[in-house]
Every structure is written in structure tokens, then in C-alpha cells.
Amino acid sequence: MCGIFGTISDNAVNDTLKALKCLEYRGYDSAGIAVKNGKDIRLFKTAGRVENLQADLPSDLYGCTAIGHTRWATHGEVCANNAHPFYSYDRNFAVVHNGIIENYLSLKYNLTASGVNFTSQTDSETVAHLLAKYYEGDVLQAVVSTANRLQGSFAIVIESVYDGNLYAVKNKSPLVVGVTDNGAYLCSDIRCISRWADKVAVTPDNVIVVANRSGVKFYGFDGEPVPVKFFSVDKAEEEASVDGDFMLKEIMEVPDKVRQAKKGYIECGGLNLPAKTVHRIKRVYLVGCGTAYNSGLEVAAVSRQMMDIDVIPVIASEFIYDSYPVDSYTLAFLISQSGETADTIRAAERIRQQGGFTYAVTNTVTSSLSFVCDKVINIRADAEYAVASTKAYNCQLVTLTLLMTDLAYLKGTIGEETRNKVFDAMDGLGSAIDKILSDSYEISRLAEEVKDSSAVFFIGKRADYPTACEGSLKLKEISYIHSEAYPAGELKHGTLALMEQGVTVIAIACDSDLLDKIASSVSEVATRKARVICVTPYSVDNATLIKIPVVNRLLYGIVSVVPLQLLSYYVAKRLNRDVDKPRNLAKSVTVE
């Protein structure tokens, strides 16, 4: 993944540091900056956060051209040597890269054989050396030659001692270009440059960018100019700050955002597909990764109770390589908070190529995913900063449930009365969640017991199983406790062997039709001395209960996940974890 940035501006160093802070959600293993001052490029990099880099910079660092990077390690351990930017062997070029150069081993082999010494274990360093190798008096020509040697996904920003330009090369990884009256910005994310840029362009694949004070030009990998359109953007708000943790703040926002998501759905006209398209749909895919996938899993379980066409949740990285059927009868919802998840974008591209209709369900309508899909809907969760996704999940569920309810209605598998019941019931969710949040003391107390568990298993049946998956993902990613989720009936097929004292089982029991079944599973694990916690609006024996309010039976997932989000947060805090930036992760996963 990683965040890349480059600027030509009067305040290049400060602007770069500000942008890197904004980009840190894409990776926080290391950070670096390279500044061109006169004829030299001065380069500084460090393991860890942008604030470490900032503390190490000399006070006289000045220049009008700078590039910067925040890293999520793919090739090579987390250390300063593997941090970007990289110099070329002659120090005449410096580069930052986001993506993976898939053929880097053969490139590295040839460069090493010709006498080049590598200073890092990364794939990215090859780019800097190739530029120096191909330079024969024309930087653009060196960039073109280098671009044509690279395979994989890459957004690369380049500065050189030879001219005042910034260059960039783009294929599959995001790169936006912003312009001002006398400067330019190149970056992985629009949000991180819109405070300066008046107009931005989304760089297409296989394109080279040349930026300087007088403007920006785009070329194909054959060196021929290509037209790219700029559009105006609203100034992004300054990066939010918070007293305490973003994750807790974002959980506390869930009630309001759930209300906002429904309002937003109505205001934008909802599903909004032509009757002809709706009529054709025979198969619906819900595609995403991590939490976004779990929201698809949940809404698929709910939708199967409303319609009789295939509704299939798929993990995006599996969708790309498996042979899921796609044709003009296919509707796919591509779910992504950031809209920058590479696997989800690749899945969208595949579905479009094969004639399916692609519908982005995202929190970032200016994202790469939105540009790839036929249609976009905003889940209206507002910016989410904590790596662990919380409010976006609830808003994905609201939006997707409404979309699928409208689809079922338009296809005639539910009547108007049922449709309206679901829509009206959404209005009560905010206050149901408010109630859970105001009783959070008990959950915080339970966290003290859960934090020393040797493992935590989450179980549920039907639409409660996806909630178990999401609870488990949340706990493991921020507490580092081993955790898995199972459909409750699966325990007896193997996992029961792990039940013993020290293990915690968290059962989700909101489906009144299946209460007896889940109660049996609870009893089976309690008999084996596991501690059992049960999230439920009902009464269940042999378990410590986290009671939640009664809501419409199709909407429990939006509510019952909230105690699990809170529990994960409190467990992680008690273990002194970095809740907002857990180890080895990043907010946005932009590599396949």
C-alpha cells in the first residue's frame, strides 16, 4: 500500500509533511522525504511515524520541489533502509512508489550484474536505478524507458537534479494530480491535496505525468501526449484531531451516522436503476474485503429472506481469480469504505468487462472505485480514521439493506407494506444504539475478563453469523488475541475440541426462530468450561448477557455489532494496544 506525494510549491517541505500526515492511514511503518534545493536532492527517512521523521529533519531544510512517502511494508522488513524515497545509484534521481513491481527480481538481477549496489530489500529501489541507467540527457525519455520495463501495480513520483519538473508513472495504483496558480501536487488521495489544489485530475493507467510551475502534461508509455480532464474539487476539511482515540469517537457516532445513511439514501433517490435493468437481474454479488465483505455477508443473509434470486457474498480477492459467472443479468455491489481497496477495484473491472452492472457502495465518492463502477452510492458515514472500521460497517448495512429491499420490491418478491416496514424500522435504530452506548460500562467491565483469554470464538446462526465474523475481525485486529467466527452448528464438527477454561465464546442470539439452537451451542461450550458471553435481546442460560433492544428482525446486524465494537475497543485498551493504528495494518489496502 503506502501513500505517495510530490509537490512543486513555495512551501514544499511543510506541504509534504502535512500531506504525509493525511496519508498515514495508508501505512505507518516508515516515512520519508526528498527535497530538491538547487542542484542537490536531500533525502531523509526513518522507521515509524511521520512525527518521527519530522523530529529528525534539519531546521534548514528548504526547497520548492519535494516528494514524500508513508510505507506499509510489502518487500523487506520495517527499517529505515527500506523506507522511501530511494536515490538512484548516482543520486541524480529520487523516487517514491506505491504498489508492487512484480518483475523486480529480474530487474534487480540485471542491475546488480551491471554493477549497481542496492541499499534496500525493496522492489521500489529498482525504479530509481533504472532511471539513472536510462538517462541520456532527457529525463522524460528516461521515465518512458523505465515505465516500459515495469510490470505490476505502481504509482511512482520522481524528482531529478536535471530539471525543476516532477514526473510520475501510473498503472493500477491511484495517482491524482492537483494544480494551483503556480504549483502542482501529485498524491495517492484527493483528500490530502484538496486543501491546496483548485482543480484535480485522476490519472488513467499507463500514463506518465510531467508537472511544473506552468502546468501539467500527460503522456502514454509511448511518449505521446494523452488528454486528461481536470475537475474542480471542494476543499477538504483540515485533518480531524481527537482527544483520546478515533475508534471510540467513531463508535460513538454510529447512531447519528446510521440516521444520516438512511436520510442520504432517500435524498439521492435510492436504488435508482432503470426498470429494464432491474427486470434483467438474475444474480446479485456483494463483493468486498474485511469488514466490507462482512457487510455483504450480513446483507446477503437478510436478502435471502426477501427474494428468491441468487444473492452471493464474495471476498473480492477470491472473485478476481475464481470463475464466478458474470453476464448482463448480473448486478454487483462493490462495497468499500475507502473505495481504494485494490482487490475490490480489480473485481469491479472484471465484472464490467464481462457485462455485469457495477454499483459502488462507498464512503468516498471521489475514490478510484467510484470511477470504475457504473453507479455510486455514498454510505454517508463521514471520514473514518481508525484502522478498525466501525461506523462505516453500520452505514454499509443500512445502505445495502435499503438497496436490497428496494430491489426485492421492484422485482415483486415483497410488497409495498413489507418494504415500508423495513424503511420505517430503520428510524428506530439510532435510539436503540444510543441505548447500548449509554450502558457501555458493563461492556468495559467484561473486557477486563476477556483480555486474558487464550482464544475468543464468536458464534451465530443465519444473519447473526456475519455479525460474529465482524466481531471476531474487530477483536483480532486491534487486540491481537487469536479469534475466529463460526456458524454455531459448526462447532461440533471440530472446533469444540478447543473448548476449555481460558477460552471465551461470544454468541450472537438475535434470531428468535433459532434461539433454541444457539442456546444448545452455548450450553455445549459452557459444559466444556469456556466462558460464554451472549449478545441478545432475549434470555439465554449459561452465559453472561449483553442485552440489546428489540428491533425489526431484518435489522439486528446493524445494532448487535455495536457491543462487539465496544468490547474490542476496551479489550485492546486494557492490553495497551495502539487502537487506532494496530501493528502490520493500514486503513486502505491498495495492493492485491
Active site (catalytic) residues = 2, 587
At its nearest, how many Å lie between ligand M6R and the CB of residue 22?
16
What CA–CA distance (Å, rounded) separates 373 from 360? Answer: 6
Parallel, antiparallel or unpaired: strands 503-508 and 455-460? parallel
Nearer to ligand M6R by Cβ, of 88 and 389: the residue is 389
Q: Taking the complex as a whole, how short is the minimal distance between the CB of residue 379 and ligand M6R, in angstroms?
A: 10
The least distance separating ligand M6R from the CB of residue 541, rounded to whole angstroms, comes to 32
Is-contact 100 152, C-beta < 8 A?
yes
Q: How many helices (H) and strands (E) does the chain have?
A: 19, 24
Cell triple for residue 218?
500527460
Nearer to ligand M6R, 92 or 401 (CB): 401
C-alpha cell at 507: 454468541
Ramachandran angles phi, psi of 190, nearest 5°:
-55, -45
Q: Taking the complex as a whole, how short is the minimal distance between the CB of residue 340 and ligand M6R, in angstroms?
A: 6
Q: Does 145 bind ligand M6R (CB under 6 A)?
A: no
Binding letters toward ligand M6R, positions 94-123, x by CB under 6 A: ------------------------------
Q: Does 388 help bind ligand M6R (rule: CB under 6 A)?
A: yes
Candidates 304-312, 385-393, 414-422, 427-435; binding stretch for ligand M6R (CB under 6 A)? 385-393
Question: Residues 67, 281, 377, 387: which binds ligand M6R (CB under 6 A)?
Answer: 387
Nearest-CA neighbor of 119 among 91, 89, 95? 89
CA 560 – CA 337 distance, rounded (Å): 20
- By beta-carbon proximity to ligand M6R, the closer residue of 88 and 294 is 294
- Give the footprint of ligand M6R on residues 282-341 (CB under 6 A): 289-292, 336-338, 341
Q: Quick one: DSSP state of residue 532?
A: E
Instruction: Name which position in 165, 188, 330, 389 contacts ligand M6R (CB under 6 A).
Output: 389
Query: Rounded distance, CA 318 to CA 93, Å?
Result: 38
Q: Which is nearer to ligand M6R, 69 or 391 (CB)?
A: 391
**Contact predicate 35/41, CB 8 Å:** yes
- Binding piece for ligand M6R, criterion CB under 6 A, among 115-123, 153-161, 386-394, 559-567: 386-394
> What is the closest distance, in whole angstroms, from the C-beta atom of residue 187 to ligand M6R in the complex?
17
Shortest CB 257 distance to ligand M6R, Å: 15
* Minimum distance, C-beta of residue 335 to ligand M6R, in the bound complex (Å): 7
Report, in Å, the least distance between residue 583 CB and ligand M6R: 12
**Residue selected from 203, 344, 378, 483 as contacting ligand M6R according to rule CB under 6 A:** 344
- The single residue listed with the C-alpha cell 450480513 is 298
Q: Residue 65 or residue 362: which is nearer to ligand M6R going by CB?
A: 362
Residue closer to ligand M6R by CB (options 45, 573) is 573
Instruction: Report d(CA 208, CA 316) in Å as an integer.
Output: 28
Closer CB to ligand M6R, 92 or 389, in the complex: 389
Q: Within 455-474, which residues bind ligand M6R (CB under 6 A)?
A: 473
Q: Which residue has the cell 452471493?
A: 312
* Nearer of residues 125 and 470 to ligand M6R, judged by Cβ: 470
Q: Where are the beta strands (DSSP E) in 289-394?
A: 310-315, 330-336, 357-362, 375-378
Site for ligand M6R (CB under 6 A): which residue of 588, 590, 591, 592? 588
Between the CA of residue 494 and those of 486, 488, 504, what are the distances in Å?
11, 12, 17
Q: Is the peptide bond before 85 cis (omega within 30 degrees of 0)?
A: yes
C-alpha cell at 230: 481536470
Nearest-CA neighbor of 577 among 485, 477, 484, 482?
477
DSSP codes, 387-420: SS--HHHHHHHHHHHHHHHHHHHHTTSS-HHHHH
CB of 471 to ligand M6R, least distance (A): 11
Which of 29, 123, 253, 477 is in the footprint of ligand M6R by CB under 6 A? 477
- Angstrom CA distances, 82 to 105, 585, 586, stand at 16, 17, 17
Alpha carbon distance 233, 235 (integer Å) = 6
DSSP label at 497?
A: G
- CA dist 6 and 35 (Å) reads 10
Among residues 271 and 591, whose Cβ is nearest to ligand M6R? 591
Spatial separation of the C-alpha atoms in residues 199 and 29, rounded to whole Å: 31
Count interface residues toward ligand M6R (CB under 6 A).
16
- The site string for ligand M6R over 240-279 (x = CB under 6 A, - otherwise) reads ----------------------------------------
Q: Which of residues 14-73 bind ligand M6R (CB under 6 A)?
A: none
Interaction between residue 433 and ligand M6R (CB under 6 A): no
Give the binding site for ligand M6R (CB under 6 A): 289-292, 336-338, 341, 344, 387-389, 473, 477, 588-589
